[in-house]
Amino acid sequence: MVRIGITGGIGSGKTYVCQIMERMEIPVYYCDSEAKRLMSESPEIRCSLTGLLGSNVYLPDGSLNKKLLSDYIFADKQHTLQINRIVHPVVKRDFLDFVCKQDKTIRFCALESAILFESGFRDVVDVAVLIDAPWSLRLQRAMLRDAATKEQIEARMRSQMADEDRRRQADFCICNDETEDLEDQVKKLLERL
């Protein structure tokens, strides 16, 4: 089974490409949503977060105290690295379990991650595919999707890996600038793999 890592900046269309793959019956692991689930369910993550931030990191109902966690993360870049060192290894193992549970006749599976290269997830996929789009188009899409201001989205975009760095590290690139059909590009990619 070929494991395809799908990555790209905010507003690039990663999720849309993954939805196309799902329609083609390719199983997709969404790192963001799975990480959120694991932060609530994984005893390993719960223990580490409680050790780092105290018992208040989980609310009385057992759910994650998102405000406390986000305040901690955004207070210092080193805090983000600490949280990532706790969460990323568990997410990586969960993805590998996801792969093992797939039907052995399936030819492809995908992992969607905005931080594929930064997180260390590149080593659990066979190929890295960058979903690329011009900065201005990504900005417009993200502003509409998130109902956020231009300044808010630009700040998020600047905090991510530079597009040039992603391009250098990717094995393949799908251009989502609305000039070529995405489904056709996905089909061509799969034919090459």
Instruction: List domains and CATH numbers for the chain.
Output: 2-192 (3.40.50.300)
- pLDDT tens digit string along 106-120? 999 999 999 999 888
Which of 5, 1, 29, 3 lies closest to 172, judged by CA? 5
Which parts of the chain fold into alpha helices (H)?
14-23, 31-41, 43-53, 66-75, 77-100, 116-119, 135-146, 150-159, 163-169, 182-192
* pLDDT classification of 90: cutoffs 50, 70, 90: very high
Q: Are 87 and 44 in contact (CB under 8 A)?
A: no
Which residues face 131 on adjacent strands?
174
Tell me: pLDDT of 171 over 90: yes
What lies within 8 Å, CB to CB, of 79 at 6+ separation is 72, 73
Mean pLDDT for the stretch of residues 52-63? 93
Give how far the C-alpha of residue 163 lies from the chain's centroid of Cα atoms, to the nearest Å: 15
Across the range 69-87, mean pLDDT stands at 89
